[in-house]
């Protein structure tokens, strides 16, 4: 009698996964200089040592992590800097930094006034950081093409500590396999990726003795308590005010006043009067409260009656929905320059973030095309650009009862490695990680005064992905190139 399908497979073990990397050769002209470079694309296996009753049993495959590595041909590996890059979310693939800013090929997504129509297109990126540094783009487990190995639980990687450990292990493996321990090493992270980068700097030092030359923190958030509107936490409300003022200015609600003047007033109010008013609560005299309501309304472009009703506490999603309600529009969260139509004029929180929905199609289409036709990597899995499952299941159990933060980790890394340099990139119209909150965190970083000169900040008239704004993209590329050159100690 033939075996049933169940009987055939009951004792069948999934084949042991192995690295699957595809190598391709390319050229790019940068300022009349032809760059020849190699790209290795695919998934490498992440393994864990197995101990049974104290005995070493071997290495078990735990995950397959997708990466794209660019190395300049003919360069001396020990001398050439290398930058490991990732985005945030958590739940985001590295496609944004890869195709938007750092890589040698980039998406043409358009901007606020001229979004690119489908089916979209790719272009060379002569401003690529590859001219100064080799590049390794990492997609954490459950993003991009990265997945848990057969029989393993993806949830084991969906948390602060396992994420740091797994990304750190990928960095260690790539560095060792490619003979790059003596190369200047950098991390570039965006959004939650900045928190990951700061924690990784400390982890790599403490776990592997790997000391970095620099961190590039793009749209920085190192302390989630400064941006999350949780019950009893008044800290974020003042930090968002300068961003609200910038967005109101962009949409014409400050007349012809220069943006710098508006921001100076907003920062002063957010640093002094507003925290005091919020702290006093019902103890604040009526006339002082009325003055605070008037000033906050003037800065943010909202009606005084609205500011009064929310008791001086303007939550960010409410702001993006309220600011242009009379025009039937909402502004973007990631980038307040963007607007879209709101079908429900009475909605408290907008139904769509235009600063994501207007560009994600371009990034998705171009990467799916690029990875197959130019990098020659084939995979039938969906490329997870932004995974809602990861966001929903992510664990912050390490921080129970306190805000998620990598501030102490960064301070520890800088004190142990006084050569570590930090570049912070901030967008004025970024409603996800407001620049004033980042400034607050950096000012309170526990490092000696002589190490503060290791930190530099750059500001752009754009949003969270500031490279969507073409002038900002070009300037940011120059800023990052200069940072890598100065921090490489070569």
| The pLDDT of residue 398 | 87
How are beta strands 329-331 and 82-86 bridged, if at all? unpaired
**Angle, alpha carbons 383-93-246 (nearest 5°):** 130
Q: Is 287 exposed, middle or buried (0-12, 13-18, 19+ CB in 10 A)?
A: exposed
Give the contacts of 281 (CB within 8 A, at least 6 positions apart). none
In 3D space, the residue among 149, 150, 133 whose CA is nearest the CA of residue 141 turns out to be: 149
Kindly write down the DSSP assignment for every residue of 98-115, as one continuous string.
IIIIISSEEEE-EETTEE
Residues β-bridged to residue 139: 66
Q: What is the mean pLDDT of residues 259-269?
A: 98
Token representation of residue 273: 């009067």
Classify burial at 47, counting beta carbons within 10 Å of its beta carbon; exposed 0-12, middle 13-18, buried 19 or more: middle
- For residue 427, the SS3 value is strand
Q: State the pLDDT confidence band at 58, using cuts at 50, 70 and 90.
A: low
Nearest to 386 by CA among 363, 352, 370: 363
**8 Å CB contact between 484 and 83:** yes
**Peptide bond between residue 90 and the one before it cis (omega within 30 degrees of 0):** yes
Range 168-197 burial, b when 16+ CB lie within 10 A, else e = bbbbebbbeebebeebbbbbbbbbbbbbbb
What pLDDT was estimated at residue 55?
67
For residue 120, cis peptide bond before it (omega within 30 degrees of 0): no
Position 257 pLDDT exceeds 60? yes
* Residue scoring higher pLDDT (252 or 4): 252
Residue range 381-397: average pLDDT? 92
Taking the CB of residue 327, how many other CB atoms lie within 10 A of it? Answer: 11
Per-residue confidence (pLDDT) for residue 433, from 0 to 100:
97
Identify whether the C-beta of residue 150 lies closer than 8 Å to the C-beta of residue 17. yes
Written in H, E and C, the secondary structure of 367-421 is HHHHHHHCCCCCCCCCCECECHHHHHHCECHHHCCCCCECHHHHHHHHHHCCCCE
Q: Determine the average pLDDT of the residues in 378-401.
A: 91
Would the pLDDT of 251 be above 60?
yes
> How, if at all, do strands 82-86 and 185-190 pair?
parallel
Cα-to-chain-centroid distance, residue 234: 24
Weakest mean pLDDT among 46-60, 195-209, 310-324: 46-60
User: For residue 7, what pLDDT is reported?
Assistant: 46
The rounded Cα 386 to chain-centroid distance in angstroms is 12
Q: What is the mean pLDDT of the chain?
A: 93
Q: Could you give the angle at the alpha carbon of 143 between the alpha carbons of 188 and 93, nearest 5°?
A: 35
DSSP assignment of 280-305 equals HGGGS-HHHHHHHHHHHHHHHT--HH
- What is the pLDDT confidence band of residue 218, given thresholds at 50, 70 and 90? very high
Number of continuous H segments (helices) and E segments (strands) in the chain: 16, 16
Residues 6+ apart with CB under 8 A from 190: 86, 87, 88, 96, 97, 218, 219, 464, 465
pLDDT tens profile 35-46: 999 999 999 999
pLDDT > 50? residue 90? yes
Residue 3 above 50 pLDDT? no
Q: Is the pLDDT of residue 291 over 60?
A: yes
166-215 pLDDT, tens digit each: 999 999 999 999 999 999 999 999 999 999 999 999 999 999 999 999 99
The alpha-helical segments, DSSP class H, found in 78-225 are: 95-97, 160-177, 192-208
- Please, which pLDDT band fits residue 138 given cuts at 50, 70 and 90? very high
Q: How far apart are CA 413 and CA 287, in angstroms?
A: 47
Residue 70 backbone dihedrals phi, psi, to 5 degrees = -110, 125
Task: Compute the average pLDDT of residues 71-90.
Answer: 93
Q: How confident is the model at residue 8 (pLDDT cuts 50, 70, 90)?
A: very low
Domains by residue range for the chain, with CATH:
5-225+360-487 (3.40.50.1820), 231-353 (no CATH)
H/E stretch holding 426 reads strand 421-427
3-state secondary structure 34-65: EEEEEEEEEEEEEEEEEEECCEEEEEEEEEEE
Residue with tokens 């197959």: 372
CA dist., res. 129 & res. 124, Å (int): 12
pTM value?
A: 0.93
- pLDDT for position 10: 46
The stretch 146-161 carries a mean pLDDT of: 91
């Amino acid at each position: 009698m033939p075996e049933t399908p169940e009987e055939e497979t009951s004792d069948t073990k999934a084949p042991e996964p192995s690295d699957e990397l595809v190598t391709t050769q390319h050229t790019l002209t940068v300022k009349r200089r032809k760059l020849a470079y190699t790209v290795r694309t695919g998934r490498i296996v992440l393994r864990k040592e197995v101990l049974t009753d104290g005995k070493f049993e071997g290495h078990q495959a735990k995950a397959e992590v997708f990466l794209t590595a660019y190395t300049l041909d003919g360069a001396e590996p020990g001398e050439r800097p290398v930058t490991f890059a990732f985005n945030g979310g958590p739940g985001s693939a590295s496609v944004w930094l890869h195709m938007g800013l750092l890589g040698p090929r980039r998406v043409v997504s358009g901007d606020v006034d001229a979004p690119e129509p489908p089916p979209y297109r790719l272009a060379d990126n002569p401003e690529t950081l590859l001219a100064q540094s080799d590049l390794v783009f990492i997609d954490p487990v459950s993003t991009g093409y990265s997945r848990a190995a057969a029989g393993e639980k993806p949830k084991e990687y969906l948390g602060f500590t396992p994420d740091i450990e797994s990304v750190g292990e990928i960095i260690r493996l790539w560095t060792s396999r490619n003979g790059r321990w003596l190369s200047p090493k950098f991390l570039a992270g965006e959004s939650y990726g900045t928190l990951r980068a700061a924690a990784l700097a400390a982890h790599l030092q403490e776990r592997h003795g790997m000391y970095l030359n620099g961190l590039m923190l793009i749209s920085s958030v190192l302390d989630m308590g400064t941006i999350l509107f949780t019950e009893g936490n008044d800290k974020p409300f003042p930090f968002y005010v300068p961003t609200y003022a910038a967005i109101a200015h962009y949409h014409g609600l400050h007349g012809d006043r220069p943006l710098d003047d508006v921001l100076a007033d907003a920062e002063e109010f957010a640093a002094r009067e507003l925290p005091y008013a919020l702290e006093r609560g019902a103890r604040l005299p009526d006339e002082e409260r009325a003055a605070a309501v008037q000033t906050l309304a003037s800065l943010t472009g909202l009606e005084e009656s609205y500011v009064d009703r929310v008791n001086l506490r303007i939550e960010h999603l409410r702001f993006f929905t309220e600011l242009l309600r009379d025009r039937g529009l909402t502004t973007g969260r990631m980038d307040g320059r963007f607007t879209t139509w709101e079908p429900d004029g009475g909605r408290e929180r907008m139904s769509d973030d235009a600063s994501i929905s207007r560009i994600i199609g371009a990034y998705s289409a171009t990467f799916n095309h690029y990875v197959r036709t130019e990098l020659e990597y084939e995979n039938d899995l969906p490329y997870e650009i932004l995974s809602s499952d990861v966001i929903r299941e992510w664990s912050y159990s390490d921080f129970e009862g306190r805000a998620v933060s990598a501030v102490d980790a960064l301070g520890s890394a800088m004190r142990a490695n006084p050569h570590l340099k930090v570049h912070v990139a901030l967008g004025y119209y970024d409603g996800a990680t407001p620049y004033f909150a980042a400034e607050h965190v950096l000012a309170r970083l526990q490092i000696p005064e002589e190490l503060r000169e290791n930190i530099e900040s750059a500001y752009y008239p754009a949003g969270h992905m500031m490279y969507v704004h073409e002038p900002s993209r070009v300037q940011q590329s120059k800023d990052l190139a200069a940072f890598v050159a100065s921090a490489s100690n070569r």
